[in-house]
Amino acid sequence: MRAREFITERVKELHKNAKRSLPYGRQFHGADQYYNYYRLGIMAAGAPDHDAPTEGPAKDCPTAWAYSDVDEEIIGHAAKKMGFGNSVIVQKGSLEPEGTHTVSPVANWMKR
């Protein structure tokens, strides 16, 4: 038996077994499967009481976050070799927001 005899793609609709076994589902036309799908998830997380912006500062622009000097060096080297321009959107230094507990409440307890 040849693969083409049993492998088929259903372009117009889901296979009947999939329709019967899957829960309620929707397709989102005009949305890409990356950023727009991410934004849909953010909007859904706040629904129905809180709306979220439909786009943010990273729209259509890949963003990399370096957690160390080595990460920064690797990212910079790769971007240069690929010929990508870039701009800094957050300066070095990751600080916790005010009011965040920075010491583990169980640190001493775990040493016992």
112: pLDDT strictly greater than 70: no
Inter-CA distances, 39 with 9, 67, 69, Å:
29, 24, 30
Cα angle: 6, vertex 9, 15; to 5 degrees:
90
Residue 35 CB neighbours (<10 A): 16
> What is this structure's pTM?
0.45
Q: What pLDDT was estimated at residue 110?
A: 63
7: pLDDT strictly greater than 80: no
The predicted model gives 100-108 an average pLDDT of 79
CA torsion 70-72-73-77 (nearest 10°) is 140
Quick: pLDDT tens for 28-80.
888 888 888 888 888 889 888 888 887 777 677 788 888 889 999 999 999 99
The predicted model gives 18-29 an average pLDDT of 83
Q: What pLDDT was estimated at residue 91?
A: 83
